């Protein structure tokens, strides 16, 4: 085995056969067969041969086989009645593509785009019995039929790239190794000075290898269209889907797949007019997108990791374009709708996510497009084990995607290698794809349940692409129907909550003014009338209540009678009021409705943005409502973003938090977990542990991250919830010895025992207040003297002390709420009441 590997590294090409292109021109009119529609056969020079289903025209056997001395050349179909299933799968592989190497290789620091990549795949094909090599049994008609690669021509390259791009690549062949270094202390190789090359190395053999790679992709597609093989796998390098019109980047020199597409469209005309390019490389194929963005006859679909526009190639463009691979890039001009990006926001995406995307988006759009040829830009860097991708697609996952794509274009499929940098992963994945192409069914999938983030990503794309593809099963755009009048349900629900809490507990809105005057901030902060008194105060920062619905299975409509509202937080409010707690209920909207709402679909604001806004709001409430009152205990309770706001507030206000907070209670379902550690107070994490309750959903990735480690005190007093959904968690942990209410009762036991009887009598004799409903975004003051309620616009206090004096009339025994303005801005800058 060592001798074989050693010999392979030398990369001798003595056994490589010259391309049959030197003997014949496959594009010559005399070679192309003509269809005999009457007999359902193809004729060539008077000879009849059965039609190969989905394989286009068939070159006469006599010409092709006599001129090609290769023993494993494609052979004629084995059974005329089953022309497709008995035909061969083609293979393009040329060891000379391995001559593209680093100019000064370092054995212990191999570049990810390793020349051994293509050999690993070919060797796996041979060992699996899919391909034939000298020294092994065969070849037989069941092996892959070898298709010779050739060098691409300048004319073909310029169908996609500029002439300057071609010329620059050709100059590499005349440069010395020290002139080809792309990084270091010496002179750097540059295509567009002063811009450095982006993730590219080159050698004097690069122009030749890149030409073979692009030419191999062309010949692979031509072999399918000419009927030489039913489908084909092109094991080629360097890859191509990052190469742009005049930029080499991301290991790529020529856009192989786009060049092959344009060549076939030009050569085969109407028989290859519409081409589907499916790119499952973990990186977005920016080059393919650019080359075909306005072409209505090329449908480009890319499934790639995006991480909110923070994953390569985002941020790497010479022209500094932004978010090129997001779901909003759908094509332009006549090609609008023929560019489909399915960007994953999170890594670790697996088979179930990819198959779900295929079922929901890829296949419905592809069937509606109805292509004449399908090309897979097959990067295997989303495979489990790849060091760059971070995803976990298995060989079975790739096989299932291939199997679905084989149902298109009458089976005319070409697979062209792109990325993939773990030699074992790409070999196993490519073998699974090859076996499926040759007729074997895919292996069973281990997991069929997509991740929550994967479903969200697919639905986001589905919503966008449904504008262009009627076949997508998704509700139509509602903006036109809602143009006259409509109100978002989260605003309606909060109004209902405000009314209900007023009727049951006399809770009224505290005045909070948003900079944009969003109606989503009306009624967001509600308080019981006793929030300024000497009693325990519970502040709840929570997400909007959950809305559950069962859409009509035929129309997809959501009817009110099949819709339920789950507001578990209200049960905590009810319990607190029953036990003489004061309550401030803070609803944290997931989206701010603007006054000029266009009724378009709106994504949820980012967790980071919502946490930052919630932290500012909590700080404002603490400064202007909590710190100046007479509360005996202060409990902070937060769900999801509320958890992040509480931890951020404690870390930013260490002394005040430790002095004023009795206990911090958090529920974390699907947001990043926050820890409480201070750079200046080494005891803060210990205090937080003793004064916190943190319930974390069982499906949260915290448990995967810490499964072998004991949680440190900065995480808080953490409990692993047996539930996954927030409503279920709130219900499960309300009661019980370690539940929220039990802890609140224990913490306030002394206060409840010492509560003066006189105070209880006073409460009993207190006259019934006049009940007034909540008015918009205004807090009804508990001040008995009506003259104290100012009708004029409130003045912003200069400090907490000023707020205390301005918030109620001097000398009045009753405490009223501070009347002031506060703006939460999207840029994160609060309009402080201290200004």
Looking at residue 466, what DSSP letter applies?
T
Contact 314, 308 (CB under 8 A): no
Element (H, E) at 726: helix 726-732
Q: Under 8 Å CB-to-CB from 330, ≥6 apart: which residues?
A: 336, 337, 339, 340, 464, 465, 467, 468
Find the length of the chain: 835
**Distance (Å, rounded) from C-alpha 671 to C-alpha 604?**
13
Chain segment 215-267, per-residue pLDDT in tens = 999 999 999 999 999 999 999 999 999 999 999 999 999 999 999 999 999 99
Chain segment 335-364, per-residue pLDDT in tens = 999 999 999 999 999 999 999 999 999 999
Q: Under 8 Å CB-to-CB from 377, ≥6 apart: which residues?
A: 241, 257, 277, 278, 279, 280, 281, 285, 288, 416, 418
**Could you tell me the sign of the dihedral formed by the alpha carbons of 378, 384, 386, 389, in that order?**
positive
Average of per-residue pLDDT across 75-94: 93
Alpha helices in 35-189 (DSSP H): 61-67, 116-127, 154-157, 163-171
pTM of the entire predicted model: 0.69
**Distance (Å, rounded) from C-alpha 536 to C-alpha 465?**
52
Give the residue numbers annotated as catalytic, written as ranges: 242
**Distance (Å, rounded) from C-alpha 60 to C-alpha 48?**
9
HSE-up of residue 317 (Cα within 13 Å, Cβ side): 20
Q: Give whole-number Cα distances, 822 to 395, 522, 532, 623, in Å.
A: 55, 13, 19, 12
Q: Render 439-459 in DSSP notation, one character per residue.
A: TPPPPPPS-----HHHHHHHH
pLDDT band at 374 (very low <50, low <70, confident <90, very high): very high
| Closest residue by Cα to residue 238 from 220, 247, 250 | 250
Contact 644, 615 (CB under 8 A): yes
Chain segment 98-139, per-residue pLDDT in tens = 999 988 877 667 888 999 999 999 999 999 999 999 888 889
Q: Under 8 Å CB-to-CB from 788, ≥6 apart: which residues?
A: 781, 808, 809, 812, 816
Q: Under 8 Å CB-to-CB from 193, ≥6 apart: which residues?
A: none
**Distance (Å, rounded) from C-alpha 278 to C-alpha 377?**
6
| Closest residue by Cα to residue 823 from 516, 510, 590 | 516
**Distance (Å, rounded) from C-alpha 181 to C-alpha 172?**
11
**Distance (Å, rounded) from C-alpha 232 to C-alpha 89?**
5
Position 747 scores a pLDDT of 96
Chain segment 527-563, per-residue pLDDT in tens = 999 999 999 999 999 988 888 888 887 777 888 888 8
Chain segment 566-622, per-residue pLDDT in tens = 889 999 999 999 999 999 999 988 876 655 555 566 667 788 888 988 898 899 899
Question: Hey, what's the torsion of the CAs at 221, 223, 229, 233, to 10 degrees?
Answer: -40
Strands 525-527, 508-509: parallel, antiparallel or unpaired by DSSP?
antiparallel
pLDDT band at 759 (very low <50, low <70, confident <90, very high): low
């Amino acid at each position: 085995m060592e001798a074989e590997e050693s010999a392979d590294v030398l990369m001798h090409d003595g056994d490589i056969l010259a391309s049959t292109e030197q003997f014949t021109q496959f594009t010559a009119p005399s070679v192309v067969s003509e269809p005999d529609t009457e007999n359902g056969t193809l004729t060539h020079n008077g000879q009849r041969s059965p039609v190969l289903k989905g394989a286009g025209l068939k070159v006469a056997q006599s010409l092709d086989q006599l001129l090609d001395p290769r023993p494993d050349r494609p052979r004629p179909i084995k059974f005329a009645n089953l022309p497709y299933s008995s035909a061969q799968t083609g293979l393009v592989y040329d060891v000379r593509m391995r001559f593209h190497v680093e100019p000064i290789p370092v054995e212990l620091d191999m570049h990810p785009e390793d020349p051994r990549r293509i050999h690993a795949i070919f060797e796996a094909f041979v060992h699996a019995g899919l391909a034939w090599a000298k020294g092994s049994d065969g070849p037989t008609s069941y092996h892959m039929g070898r298709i010779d690669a050739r060098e691409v021509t300048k004319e073909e390259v310029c169908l996609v790239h500029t002439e300057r791009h071609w010329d620059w690549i050709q100059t590499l062949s005349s440069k010395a190794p020290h002139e080809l270094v792309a990084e270091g202390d010496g002179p750097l190789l540059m295509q567009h000075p002063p811009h450095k090359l982006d993730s590219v190395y080159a050698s004097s053999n690069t122009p030749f290898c890149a030409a073979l790679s692009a030419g191999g992709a062309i010949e692979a597609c031509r072999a399918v269209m000419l009927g030489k093989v039913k489908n084909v796998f092109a094991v080629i390098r360097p890859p191509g889907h990052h190469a742009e019109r005049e930029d080499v980047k991301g290991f790529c020199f020529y856009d192989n797949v786009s060049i092959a597409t344009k060549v076939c469209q030009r050569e085969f005309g109407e028989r290859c007019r519409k081409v589907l390019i499916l790119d499952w490389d973990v990186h977005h194929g920016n080059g393919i997108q650019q080359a075909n963005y306005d072409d209505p006859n090329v449908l480009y679909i890319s499934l790639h990791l995006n991480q909110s526009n923070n994953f390569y190639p985002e941020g790497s463009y010479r022209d500094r374009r932004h978010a090129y691979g997001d779901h909003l890039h759908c094509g332009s001009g006549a090609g609008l709708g023929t560019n489909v990006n399915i960007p994953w926001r999170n890594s670790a995406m697996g088979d179930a996510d990819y198959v779900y995307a295929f079922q929901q988006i890829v296949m419905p759009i592809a069937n509606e497009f109805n292509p004449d040829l399908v090309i897979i830009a097959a990067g295997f860097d989303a495979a489990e084990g790849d060091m760059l991708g971070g995803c976990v697609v298995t060989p079975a996952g790739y096989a299932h995607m291939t199997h679905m794509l084989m149902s298109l274009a009458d089976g005319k499929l070409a697979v062209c290698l792109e990325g993939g940098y773990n030699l074992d992963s790409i070999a196993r994945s490519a073998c699974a794809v090859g076996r499926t192409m040759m007729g074997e069914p895919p292996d069973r999938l281990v997991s069929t349940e997509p991740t929550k983030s994967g479903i969200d990503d697919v639905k986001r794309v589905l919503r966008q692409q449904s504008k262009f593809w009627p076949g997508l099963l998704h509700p139509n755009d509602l903006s036109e129907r809602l143009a006259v009048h409509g109100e978002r349900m989260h605003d309606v629900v909060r109004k209902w909550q405000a009314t209900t809490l007023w009727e049951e507990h006399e809770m009224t809105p505290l005045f909070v003014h948003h900079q944009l005057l969003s109606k989503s901030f009306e009624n967001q902060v509600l308080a019981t009338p006793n929030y300024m008194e000497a009693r325990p105060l519970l502040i709840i920062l929570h997400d909007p209540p959950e809305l559950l619905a069962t859409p009509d299975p035929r129309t997809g409509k959501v009817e009110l009678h099949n819709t339920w509202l789950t507001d578990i937080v209200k049960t905590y409010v009810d319990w607190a009021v029953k036990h003489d707690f004061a309550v401030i209920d803070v609803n944290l909207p997931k989206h701010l409705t603007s006054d000029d709402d266009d009724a378009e679909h709106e994504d949820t604001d980012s967790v980071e943005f919502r946490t930052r806004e919630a932290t500012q709001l909590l700080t404002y409430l603490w400064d202007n409502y909590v710190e100046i009152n007479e509360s005996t205990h202060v409990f902070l309770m937060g769900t999801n973003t509320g958890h992040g706001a509480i931890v951020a507030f404690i870390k930013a206000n260490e002394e005040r938090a430790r002095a004023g907070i009795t206990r911090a209670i958090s529920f974390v379902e699907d947001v990043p977990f926050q820890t409480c550690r201070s750079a200046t107070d080494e005891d803060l994490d210990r205090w937080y542990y003793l004064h916190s309750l943190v319930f974390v959903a069982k499906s949260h990735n915290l448990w995967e991250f810490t499964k072998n480690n004991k949680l440190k005190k900065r995480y808080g007093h953490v409990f692993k919830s047996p539930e996954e959904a927030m409503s279920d968690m709130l219900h499960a942990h309300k009661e019980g010895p370690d539940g929220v209410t039990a802890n609140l009762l224990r913490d306030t036991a002394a206060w409840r025992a010492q509560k003066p009887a006189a105070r209880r009598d006073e409460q009993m004799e207190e006259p019934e207040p006049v009940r007034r409903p909540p008015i918009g975004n205004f807090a009804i003051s508990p001040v008995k003297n009506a003259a104290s309620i100012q009708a004029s616009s409130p003045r912003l206090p200069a400090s907490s002390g000023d707020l205390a004096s301005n918030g109620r009339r001097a000398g009045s025994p009753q405490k009223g709420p501070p009347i002031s303005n506060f703006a939460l801005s999207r840029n994160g800058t609060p309009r402080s009441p201290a200004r």
